[in-house]
């Protein structure tokens, strides 16, 4: 029986009031609800305030470089497909520095769950614009406001027919935990974009700003309908839809490798007789 | 440079030149000869001018040669460009319509022997007939190459080959044949990249990721070919940054991992090298050099990334660099790289170049039944509790567990970390961790493969070299000795770390020392001076994109 206690309780280095606390809580709830033993999960994170989150969980962790969590997670999953692999990092890490890896992970449909703490601003480097900052968002290095168009991660993911696309809100912990649980259970790539306030550097998209806009999709919403999902993913205004926006049943990437049919690559040894035969083919 | 036959096949890309070259080379190996292949090609798929040179000898050879004994011209441009390279007794095979001198040129009615599609096979038949290869051997090799094609094509290949050989044998004697081997030994034909792939598999490689880049791509291609059978995962990544990070993820999870690339791709991997150093994750990195800076000459050769590979990665952490000099060494040093990467838990390099990557050789069997796997550095259970992934130890090597294989938590962090892997800003821990990581260098130093000295003691001339230039230096030295010069060679199969006790006296005892390397700034010479204080004044440098040949060395020395 897996309990919250298994995943530990740690002191953090976040600002008081940070949305990360609620996300950490939701992640723990989801892991317990999924009854995943802590030794059966590997977290991968990058750099940023969000990327510290798995350090506050009693789990295996590869905390790598800024933007590079998805390739590391892909390598982990391909080496040991038996493990549950979860990436946790921020909007700058995944959509900025790691943008190419985000697209490639979706295309592969690798069975990795990507949790993006999306506060629409860079926290660790103190308040510069992120790829998801809204046009016009004013910062110390964008004093005239952000000129670029804001990146919509869920719309991009739905457009690419990602295996599982969801949006959650840090202010609705139980709802977020359910989404994360579904994302983990999904075989294939799953994205959970998590809206969260940054109390220090984002004075526009505050807790109450999100709270008044985030609305769960209707109970009869059909996430397997791509056209509807595309429309819903594009919605961003007075209403921001949250929930599971899209899902499909594409085969997951690791299922394509003959080498993985017999489980992890670890400790497999080498069939020397076969290798000798292969070498003979060079004669 | 005697007793060998240097055949140059030239033509446009897309004419089937490499196919003919490979079939000829393999037929030669199967007939018992030693070969050194040099492939010179342009960065295009059709047109242009490419050459495939096979240097053949009944005795072992390790170098290519510039002077050509037999030109096989698949187009007119080949004659224009290479006739000047012919030896005094040199001969040409070309179409009957060409303008070459009939005394030295066998004019072949290619149009009568074969349709355009099969004219390369006709050329193969003519050369085979001229040098005395058996039709049975060439035909069998032809079949191995085209076995899967439509039966009609296989039959036509055989017909054209036979007709071309029969035609050639009906001509008046044109050139001497190779001495035959009654019972040819069974050797393999392999190029540097294939040998790296095979060495890696035999050492226990399970995961390879890469982004295609000439001249490294055929490592991945070879591994992909055997991945299903040998239980490997080979992944073409979205870029080189992803490639190295994937390999580190796979290695962290327990799969012995490798990446392969060339200069520009390696530039993208550099942050990952540093990550391997910090997270103490085993990884083998094969860098096949080509001329830079930037895109440089994508399909040519150079040895100008030694200093780059040596210093790649921010911060200070241990590494080892191997630079194979032959195809056999590509195999064995790759195995060695896996053993070191596992043992010392960090990045280990194989540094080659386009010449060696693409150079087919005749090589002896690798008795893989007897070769051990790289000893895995992980344990099933911790030796002591509580388990600490980065515990400070006497030799700097910390106990490695794999995530998910026990209840113990395995944390790897790119931030400076405590012994249990969590990020820290405790500066006394920082100092201990730097020292712990660098301590591993002591062990790596104790296992360094010493440079190979050959030739006369206290020589008048000592030629120092590394990597693929080895063969040419050995041959140039033996040529000098045959002319009465006291010459020696010092070849470095491992470039980092350098242990001066292994070689400094040899440098000091030589009257003159010359460093032979394929770059403009003398990178090994500089490194030796940095590590030992010994200044090598003489330089033979080549940086025009072509491999250093014995003739090049002798010309530069004069």
Quick one: pLDDT band at residue B44, thresholds 50, 70, 90? confident
pLDDT greater at residue B151 or residue B417: B417
Nearest C-alpha in A relative to B425: A13
Residues 6+ away with beta carbon under 8 Å from A259: A265, B206, B227, B228, B230, B231, B232, B233
Shortest distance between the Cα of B372 and any Cα of chain A, in A, equals 10
User: Which residue out of B238, B280, B339, B386 would a mutagenesis test of the A interface target, given it has the greatest number of A Cβ atoms within 10 Å?
Assistant: B238
Residues 6+ away with beta carbon under 8 Å from A179: A166, A168, A192, A243, A244
Nearest C-alpha in A relative to B410: A60
Structural contact between residues B510 and B458, judged by C-beta atoms closer than 8 angstroms = yes
Half-sphere exposure of B147 (CA within 13 A, CB side): 5
3-state secondary structure chain A: CCCHHHHCCCCCCCCCCCCHHHHHHHHHHHHHHCCCCHHHEEEEECCCCHHHHHHHCCCEEEECCCCCHHHHHHHHHHHCCCCEEEEEEEHHHHHHHCHHHHHHHHHHCCCCEEEEEECCECCCCCCCECCCCCCCCCCCCCCCCCCCCCCCHHHHHHHCCCCEEEEEECCCHHHHHHHHHHHHHCCCCEEEEEECCCCCCCCCCCHHHHHHHEEECCCCCCCCCHHHHHHHHHCCCCCEEEEEEEECCCCCHHHHCHHHCCCCCCCCCCCHHHHHHHHHCCC
Structural contact between residues B552 and B502, judged by C-beta atoms closer than 8 angstroms = no
Task: Measure the CA–CA gap between B26 and B286, rounded to whole angstroms.
Answer: 26
Give the burial class of B132: count Cβ atoms within 10 A of its Cβ; 0-12 exposed, 13-18 middle, 19 or more buried.
Answer: middle
Q: Does B400 touch chain A (CB under 8 A)?
A: no
Which conformational region is residue A8 in: left (phi greater than 0), alpha (psi within -120 to 50 degrees), or beta?
A: left
Tell me: pLDDT of B557 over 70: yes
Interchain contact, A275 vs B201, CB within 8 Å: yes
Half-sphere exposure of B201 (CA within 13 A, CB side): 31
Structural contact between residues A117 and A90, judged by C-beta atoms closer than 8 angstroms = yes
Interchain contact, A79 vs B238, CB within 8 Å: no
Cis peptide before B324 (omega within 30 of 0): no
Half-sphere exposure of B48 (CA within 13 A, CB side): 13
Q: Per-residue pLDDT tens for B211-246?
A: 999 999 999 999 999 999 999 999 999 999 999 999
Shortest distance between the Cα of B15 and any Cα of chain A, in A, equals 24
Nearest C-alpha in B relative to A283: B188
Shortest distance between the Cα of A277 and any Cα of chain B, in A, equals 10
Task: Measure the CA–CA gap between B72 and B135, rounded to whole angstroms.
Answer: 19
Average pLDDT value over all residues in chain B: 95
Interchain contact, A83 vs B403, CB within 8 Å: yes
User: Which residue out of B232, B255, B273 would a mutagenesis test of the A interface target, given it has the greatest number of A Cβ atoms within 10 Å?
Assistant: B255
Q: Which residue has the tokens 């005892």?
A: B509
- Compute φ and ψ for A68, nearest 5 degrees: -105, 15
Interchain contact, B230 vs A275, CB within 8 Å: yes
Nearest C-alpha in A relative to B240: A71
Which conformational region is residue B426 in: left (phi greater than 0), alpha (psi within -120 to 50 degrees), or beta?
A: beta
Task: Measure the CA–CA gap between B550 and B64, rounded to whole angstroms.
Answer: 8
Structural contact between residues B249 and A62, judged by C-beta atoms closer than 8 angstroms = yes
Quick one: pLDDT band at residue B437, thresholds 50, 70, 90? very high
Task: Measure the CA–CA gap between B124 and A125, rounded to whole angstroms.
Answer: 65
Q: How far is CA B526 from the centre of its chain?
A: 23
Q: Which has the minimum average pLDDT: B368-382, B391-405, B457-471, B475-489?
A: B368-382
E strands along B25-67, which residues?
Answer: 34-40, 47-57
Residues in chain A closer than 8 A to B422 (CB atoms): 55
pLDDT for A44 = 98
Interchain contact, B207 vs A78, CB within 8 Å: yes
Interchain contact, B228 vs A60, CB within 8 Å: no
Helix, strand, or coil (residue B32): coil
pLDDT for B373 = 86
- B229: number of Cβ within 10 Å: 15
Rounded to a whole number of angstroms, the distance between the first and last alpha carbons of chain A is 58
Q: Please compute the mean of the pLDDT values over residues B361-388 and round it to a whole number.
A: 90
pLDDT for B467 = 98
Structural contact between residues B531 and B360, judged by C-beta atoms closer than 8 angstroms = no
Structural contact between residues B288 and B193, judged by C-beta atoms closer than 8 angstroms = yes
Cα-based angle B487, B532, B286 (whole degrees, multiple of 5) = 80
Write the residue in A42, A83, A101 that is nearest to B242 by C-beta: A101
- Say if strands B5-13 and B47-57 run parallel, antiparallel, or are unpaired: antiparallel
pLDDT for B42 = 81
User: Which residue out of B148, B222, B249 would a mutagenesis test of the A interface target, given it has the greatest number of A Cβ atoms within 10 Å?
Assistant: B249
Residues in chain A closer than 8 A to B408 (CB atoms): 39
Q: Does B425 touch chain A (CB under 8 A)?
A: no
Residues in chain A closer than 8 A to B368 (CB atoms): 270, 272, 275-276, 279
pLDDT for B150 = 75
CB contacts < 8 A, A to B, total 205
Q: Please compute the mean of the pLDDT values over residues B521-530 and round it to a whole number.
A: 98
Shortest distance between the Cα of B299 and any Cα of chain A, in A, equals 24
| % pLDDT > 70, chain B | 99
Helix, strand, or coil (residue B320): strand
Task: Measure the CA–CA gap between B412 and B550, rounded to whole angstroms.
Answer: 49
Shortest distance between the Cα of B347 and any Cα of chain A, in A, equals 16
Residues in chain B closer than 8 A to A56 (CB atoms): none
Shortest distance between the Cα of A66 and any Cα of chain B, in A, equals 10
Write the residue in A265, A269, A279 that is nearest to B366 by C-beta: A279
pLDDT for B1 = 42
Q: Please compute the mean of the pLDDT values over residues B308-314 and round it to a whole number.
A: 98
pTM: 0.97
Closest CA to A31 of A12, A56, A6: A6
pLDDT greater at residue B544 or residue B149: B544
pLDDT greater at residue B463 or residue B174: B463
Structural contact between residues B353 and B330, judged by C-beta atoms closer than 8 angstroms = no
Task: Measure the CA–CA gap between A184 and A174, rounded to whole angstroms.
Answer: 15
Task: Measure the CA–CA gap between B493 and B148, rounded to whole angstroms.
Answer: 40
Residue numbers in chain A where pLDDT is lower than 70: none
Task: Measure the CA–CA gap between B47 and B37, rounded to whole angstroms.
Answer: 21
Interchain contact, B189 vs A282, CB within 8 Å: yes
Quick one: pLDDT band at residue B2, thresholds 50, 70, 90? low
């Amino acid at each position: 029986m897996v309990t919250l206690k298994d995943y530990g309780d740690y002191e953090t280095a976040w600002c008081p009031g940070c949305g990360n606390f609620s996300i950490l809580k939701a992640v723990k709830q989801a892991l317990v609800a999924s009854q995943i033993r802590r030794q059966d999960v590997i977290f991968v994170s990058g750099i940023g305030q969000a990327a510290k989150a798995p350090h506050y969980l009693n789990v295996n962790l590869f905390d790598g470089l800024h933007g590079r969590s998805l390739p590391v997670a892909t390598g982990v999953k391909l080496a040991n497909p038996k493990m549950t692999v979860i990436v946790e990092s921020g909007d700058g890490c995944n959509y900025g520095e790691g943008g190419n890896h985000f697209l490639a992970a979706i295309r592969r449909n690798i069975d990795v769950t990507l949790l993006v703490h999306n506060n629409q601003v860079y926290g660790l480097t103190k308040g510069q614009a992120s790829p998801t900052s809204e046009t016009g968002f004013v910062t110390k290095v964008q004093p005239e406001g952000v000129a670029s168009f804001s990146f919509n991660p869920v719309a991009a993911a739905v457009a690419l027919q990602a295996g599982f696309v969801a949006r959650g809100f840090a202010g609705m912990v139980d709802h977020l935990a359910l989404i994360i649980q579904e994302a983990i259970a999904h075989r294939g790539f799953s994205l959970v974009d998590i809206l969260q306030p940054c109390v220090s550097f984002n004075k526009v998209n505050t807790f109450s700003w999100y709270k008044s806009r985030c609305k769960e999709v209707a109970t009869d919403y059909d996430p397997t309908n791509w056209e509807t999902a595309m429309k819903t993913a594009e919605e961003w205004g007075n209403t921001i839809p949250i929930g599971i926006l899209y899902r499909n049943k594409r085969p997951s990437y690791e299922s394509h490798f003959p080498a993985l049919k017999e489980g992890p690559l670890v400790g497999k040894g080498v069939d020397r007789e076969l290798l000798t035969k292969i070498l003979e083919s060079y004669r | 440079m005697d007793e060998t036959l240097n055949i140059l096949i030239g033509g446009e890309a897309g004419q089937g030149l490499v196919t003919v070259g490979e079939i000829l080379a393999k037929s030669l190996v199967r007939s018992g000869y030693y070969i050194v292949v040099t492939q010179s090609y342009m960065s295009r798929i059709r047109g242009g001018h490419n050459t495939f040179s096979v240097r053949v000898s009944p005795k072992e050879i390790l170098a290519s040669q510039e002077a050509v004994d037999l030109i096989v011209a698949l187009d007119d441009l080949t004659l224009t460009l290479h006739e000047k390279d012919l030896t005094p007794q040199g001969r040409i095979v070309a179409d009957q319509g060409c303008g070459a001198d009939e005394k030295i040129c066998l004019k072949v009615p290619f149009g009568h022997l074969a349709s355009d599609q099969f004219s390369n096979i006709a050329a193969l038949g003519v050369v085979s007939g001229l040098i005395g290869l058996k039709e049975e051997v060439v035909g069998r090799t032809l079949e191995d190459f085209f076995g899967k094609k439509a039966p009609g094509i296989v039959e036509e290949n055989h017909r054209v080959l036979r007709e071309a050989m029969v035609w050639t044998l009906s001509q008046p004697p044109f050139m001497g044949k190779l001495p035959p081997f009654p019972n040819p030994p069974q050797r393999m034909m392999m190029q540097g990249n294939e040998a790296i792939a095979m060495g890696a598999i035999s050492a226990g490689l399970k995961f390879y990721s890469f982004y295609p880049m000439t001249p490294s791509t055929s490592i991945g291609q070879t591994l992909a070919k055997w991945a299903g059978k040998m239980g490997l995962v080979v992944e073409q990544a979205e870029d080189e940054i992803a490639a190295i990070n994937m390999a580190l993820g796979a290695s962290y999870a327990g799969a012995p991992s490798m990446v392969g690339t060339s200069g520009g791709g390696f530039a993208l991997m550099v942050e990952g090298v540093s990550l391997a150093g910090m997270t103490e994750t085993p990884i083998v990195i094969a860098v096949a050099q080509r001329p830079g800076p930037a895109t440089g000459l994508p399909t040519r050769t150079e040895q100008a990334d030694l200093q780059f590979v040596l210093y790649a990665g921010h911060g200070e952490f241990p590494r080892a660099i191997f630079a194979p000099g032959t195809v056999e060494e590509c195999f064995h040093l790759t195995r060695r790289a896996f053993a070191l990467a596992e043992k010392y838990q960090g990045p280990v390099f194989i540094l080659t170049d386009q010449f060696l990557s693409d150079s087919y050789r005749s090589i002896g069997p690798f008795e893989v039944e007897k070769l051990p796997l790289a000893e895995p550095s992980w344990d099933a259970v911790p030796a002591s509790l509580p388990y600490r992934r980065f515990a400070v130890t006497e030799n700097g090597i910390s106990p490695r567990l794999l995530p998910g294989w026990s209840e113990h938590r395995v944390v790897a962090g790119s931030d400076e970390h405590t012994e249990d892997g969590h990020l820290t800003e405790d500066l006394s821990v920082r100092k201990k961790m730097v020292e712990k990581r660098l301590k591993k260098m002591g062990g790596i130093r104790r296992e360094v493969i010493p440079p190979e000295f050959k030739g006369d003691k206290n020589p008048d001339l000592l030629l120092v070299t590394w990597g693929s230039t080895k063969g040419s230096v050995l041959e140039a030295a033996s040529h000098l000795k045959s002319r009465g010069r006291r010459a020696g060679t010092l070849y470095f199969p491992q470039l980092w770390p350098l242990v001066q006790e292994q070689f400094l006296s040899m440098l000091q005892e030589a009257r003159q020392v010359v460093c032979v390397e394929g770059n403009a700034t003398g990178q090994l010479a500089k490194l030796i001076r940095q590590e030992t204080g010994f200044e090598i004044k003489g330089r033979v440098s080549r940086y025009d994109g072509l491999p250093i040949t014995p003739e090049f060395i002798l010309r530069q020395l004069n």
